Amino acid sequence: MPLARSLSVTSLSGLEEWDEEFELEDAVLFEIAWEVANKVGGIYTVIQTKARLTAEEWGENYFLVGPYVESNVRTQVELIEPTNPVLKRTIDKMNSSGCKVYFGRWLIEGSPYVVLIDVGFTAWSLDRWKSELWELGAIGVPWFDREANDAVLFGFLTAWLLGEFAAQSEEPPHIVAHFHEWLAGLGLVLCRKRQLPVATIFTTHATLLGRYLCAGNVDFYNNLSKFNVDKEAGDRQIYHRYCLERAAAHCAHVFTTVSQITAIEAEHLLKRKPDIVTPNGLNVKKFSAMHEFQNLHAQSKSRIQEFVRGHFYGHLDFNLDKCLFLFIAGRYEFSNKGADIFLEALARLNYLLRVNHSDVTVIAFFIMPARTNNFNVETLKGQAVRKQLWDTAHTVKERFGKKLYDSLLVGQLPDVAKMLDKEDFTIMKRAIFATQRQSQPPVCTHNMLDDSSDPILNSVRRIGLFNSSADRVKIIFHPEFLSSTSPLLPMDYEEFVRGCHLGVFPSYYEPWGYTPAECTVMGIPSISTNLSGFGCFMEEHIADPTAYGIYILDRRYKGVDESCNQLTSFLFQFCKQSRRQRIIQRNRTERLSDLLDWRYLGRYYIAARHMALAKAFPDTFIYEPHEPSSTTGFRYPRPASVPPSPALSRHSSPHHSEAEDDEDERYDEDLEAEKDRVNIRQPYTVTKNKTSAIPGADENEDDASEKN
């Protein structure tokens, strides 16, 4: 049964019920972000994956607004004539006034409408708009900050678009404008200053100052209340950006952020407490492979093994069947993403595996793009040698098979001594000699431009993990995004993740964390932290995250050395699991994917929009907040096959046991899965142009129908 728990803004069942249904027939939603049809970072993933659900809710009245980037438009957008007559008049008026505004469909799931504004075409207005911004809020934008200049142009143009749309409407419209991040925030400020009939929402996915402070190796979370934010922003020459972000947060009718940990950060740095937390979801259908995800893991793992055979040629003195693949991926922020603590933990894990005479080998991949000039010659040679060996083996196999076939045709058993002649042995000896190698397998797959100052390579030199035969932990640094067209490791990111055993993301600054979320929906266990939005979310909604393959590292209340020891313990315990225990754990991890589906998490955005409508148009929409004392929990219990632990410090994942027959009796996959389904609600379904299924409403309707 679900566990009772106190109300939380991140509880899936913790949103208050609404007294009336919200009719959206005459409402229009504009969602504005710099990453609409323009991939820069994680916000692109948020908007792209959420678009289908939002389009189902708002129908023809949903428009995404972003910058016009020709290279992206050619491959992602189908340009068409505006279908909404008011919007058509708006775009025509703007184009006749010296702008370039395009309309089309974004070719992603849900096919939402997009309004794309050519920022560069109106650059002639930059100085005038900067002067207006200075008069409006005393915010001065330096000429050399191109990103901030783009933000000024984009902000004034989006405010122009919304204002013109309101002016062209025959009846007073109910417009909702949702702005993402500081790059779009100026448009919100201008909407409020000009008193446009627009309900505004501002979502910060990560505060500007927070990212800069964490990159500077400060004790961030323990000093949140002590920072002189104006001085810190000024010292880092981002004061104008910080002012734009803070102004948007304060001017918005509703202010949201993506996680509870970022909400605390925003309250101290932006000086406003978020009204609601809107966690990031995924379109789980895209990642789910039904019951085939274990087979997909095996297939992808075999492809990674092929790469490893080539990379470690001449030093392949370990058993690939007892080899575990770990990885960390993301932006190359050495400390923020936790690469520093991961490397230190790998050195300690290597020591533990060696002193315990373990036969397990760990290969840790670092997938972080950095400045390179080409592939490493030695790495390419390894794949060429592997392919040559494969061709040689096939040649000998074909010759052997022909002789065997001829012998069987005449009704004789083959003479094994004559099956391989001298030429065959010569071919095989030459192939063996070709695999001899004097140097160690390379750590980095590419030639780095800043090899001597690269933080990952310098840490590898410090801890001494050079892929030697004596080491049980090997490191491969791939400083480039994965691609299925790569001559080195021809796999896309999703396929690579499926083939790994564990994702390791010990981030110090991670407002949400899409990488561990993607691991979860693909059934791959992961390590996250209690300073990441994902880690906090899972810790709150799962009674025993470790049993489900979600390891939560404590980086908030422990020092670096203690956190490193805890990470080492997680890794060592994972290495001690048997193959069967890892399979059980992957099954459990994959079952958590429903928690991360937009069908569940999208209701937070729905609540934020309703809240904004009620604040901006109080005569039409009514919102009366209330705080219930408690609510039914949305929390996975400990799996039935994991016995309760008498000590909190005891590791709760499946332990290695010689008596696996006992485990067979205790573990029943179907029974466990059925019990887990009880603890999660049915996906939220949207009625087009109407939202009545506010969290809790579905259950009330079901109860009423049963009574009738």
Report the alpha-carbon distance of residue 179 to residue 202 in Å, rounded. Answer: 5
% of the chain exceeding 90 in pLDDT: 69
Unique residue bearing structure tokens 């911004």: 133
* Helical (H) or strand (E) element with 239: helix 239-251
pTM above 0.95, yes or no: no
Residue 223: pLDDT over 70 = yes
Is-contact 113 62, C-beta < 8 A? yes
Query: For residue range 232-242, what is the model confidence (pLDDT) as tens digits?
Result: 999 999 999 99
Q: Are strands 361-367 and 323-329 parallel, antiparallel or unpaired?
A: parallel
Q: What is the arithmetic mean of pLDDT over 529-536?
A: 95
Is-contact 366 328, C-beta < 8 A? yes
Q: What is the arithmetic mean of pLDDT over 496-503?
A: 97
What domains can be seen in the chain, in order of their start residue?
Answer: 27-282 (3.40.50.2000), 285-381+441-595 (3.40.50.2000)
Terminal-to-terminal C-alpha distance of the chain: 26
The two three-digit tokens of residue 208, written as one number: 């500007």
Query: For residue range 428-475, what is the model confidence (pLDDT) as tens digits?
Result: 888 888 888 889 999 999 999 999 999 999 999 999 999 999 999 999
φ/ψ of residue 494, rounded to 5: -60, -45
Unique residue bearing structure tokens 């928690």: 595
Q: What is the arithmetic mean of pLDDT over 288-302?
A: 80
Is-contact 111 55, C-beta < 8 A? yes
Bridge partners of 104, per DSSP, are 79, 114
Residue 198: pLDDT over 90 = yes
Whole-Å CA distances, 334 to 370, 442, 508, 512? 11, 20, 10, 17
Asked which of 37-51, 236-250, 617-631 is least confident by mean pLDDT, the reply is 617-631
Is-contact 120 152, C-beta < 8 A? no
Whole-Å CA distances, 203 to 52, 184, 605, 704? 19, 10, 10, 36
Report the alpha-carbon distance of residue 397 to residue 404 in Å, rounded. Answer: 10
Q: Residue 203's closest CA among 538, 609, 531? A: 609
Compute, in degrees rounded to 10, the torsion defined by CA atoms 475, 481, 486, 491: 80
Residue 653: pLDDT over 80 = no
Whole-Å CA distances, 417 to 252, 383, 401, 403? 84, 33, 14, 12
Residue 663: pLDDT over 50 = no
Residue 631: pLDDT over 60 = no
Asked which of 69-83, 128-142, 540-554, 686-700 is least confident by mean pLDDT, the reply is 686-700
pLDDT band (50, 70, 90) for residue 284: confident
Residue 620: pLDDT over 80 = yes
Whole-Å CA distances, 598 to 15, 48, 282? 16, 11, 6
pLDDT, residue 292, reads: 78
Q: Which residue has the higher pLDDT, 19 or 259?
A: 259
Whole-Å CA distances, 405 to 398, 399, 402, 424? 10, 10, 5, 17
Asked which of 52-66, 210-224, 357-371 is least confident by mean pLDDT, the reply is 210-224
pLDDT, residue 637, reads: 72
% of the chain exceeding 70 in pLDDT: 84
Residue 244: pLDDT over 50 = yes
pLDDT, residue 22, reads: 59
Residue 603: pLDDT over 50 = yes
Query: For residue range 401-435, what is the model confidence (pLDDT) as tens digits?
Result: 888 888 889 888 888 777 888 888 888 888 888 88
For 229, half-sphere exposure in the C-beta direction (CA atoms, 13 angstrom radius) is 20
Summary mean pLDDT of the chain? 86
pLDDT, residue 381, reads: 92
Q: What is the arithmetic mean of pLDDT over 658-663?
A: 43
pLDDT, residue 1, reads: 28
Q: What is the arithmetic mean of pLDDT over 314-334?
A: 94
* Helical (H) or strand (E) element with 365: strand 361-367
pLDDT band (50, 70, 90) for residue 11: very low
Residue 673: pLDDT over 80 = no
> Helices 181-193 and 146-168 meet at what angle, rounded to 10?
40
Q: What is the arithmetic mean of pLDDT over 651-663?
A: 43
Query: For residue range 365-387, what is the model confidence (pLDDT) as tens digits?
Result: 999 999 999 999 999 999 999 99
Q: Is 514 exposed, middle or buried (0-12, 13-18, 19+ CB in 10 A)?
A: buried
Q: Is 333 helix (H, G, I), strand (E, B) or coil?
A: coil
pLDDT, residue 503, reads: 98
Residue 656: pLDDT over 80 = no
The two three-digit tokens of residue 688, written as one number: 């087009």
Is-contact 68 116, C-beta < 8 A? yes
Q: Residue 684's closest CA among 26, 1, 12? A: 12
